[in-house]
Amino acid sequence: MAVREFGRFMCESLRHPGGVGAIAPSSRRLAHHMVQRIDWGSVNTVVEFGPGTGVFTAQILQCKRPGTEFFAVELNSQFVATLERRFPDVTFLEDSVANIEALCRQRGVSEVDAIVCGLPWAAFSDRDQTAYLDAMMRVLKPGGHLATFAYLPGMVLPAAHRFRRKLRSYFGEVHMSPTVWLNVPPAFVYRCWR
């Protein structure tokens, strides 16, 4: 199954390089770093942006409390089909995260405690970065947590520098994890609190 998922990921990465934004699925080690600083005891609603093949989804399911509202937003229809087979008890919405406010309303969610985000921020234009962050802030509650990541080699890109500046303007606290070397390519996690 892992080989099939890797193959699917590679196909989608080649077909939609700007939308997938990676050369390989995230590692379990990176997924662990993504979720480890979230206060799961106080999270009533968690949303995943861009679950891809579901590496972060699996970690969220291990950490969240029973009864915690959890759904994921994925634009790629091939990934959604794979995710629905792998995680039949999770709701995957095939849509853009720019529409998160409407998606939350449809699910009866007034605010979100935590967002775990696998979006390829460095592949986005300035306009798209702003649109997705603005949408996120309309649903993330005060004190809410965002966990997202960046690839270490990608930090030379202007879009990566722009995104880091944006995070610091949108969030009261922004911390960076140590580098996760057991990932292709090496990455680190931005841990942000509103």
pLDDT for the residue 20: 44
Q: For residue 151, list its beta bridge partners.
A: 187
Give 27-193's CATH code, choosing from 3.40.50.150, 3.40.50.720, 3.40.50.1000, 3.40.190.10. Answer: 3.40.50.150
3-state SS, one letter per residue, for 86-154? HCCCCEEEECCHHHHHHHHHHCCCCCEEEEEECCCHHHCCHHHHHHHHHHHHHHEEEEEEEEEEEECHH
Measured CA to CA, the distance from residue 94 to residue 101 in angstroms comes to: 14
Contacting residues for 18 by C-beta, under 8 A, at least 6 apart: 120, 123
Q: Where are the domains of the chain?
A: 27-193
- Strand, helix or coil for residue 43: coil
What single DSSP character describes residue 23? S
- Look at phi and psi of residue 68 and say left if phi exceeds 0, alpha if psi is from -120 to 50, else beta: beta
pLDDT for the residue 137: 98
> Mean pLDDT for each 10-residue chunk of the chain (194 residues)?
46 45 78 96 97 96 97 96 97 98 97 97 95 98 97 92 96 97 95 97
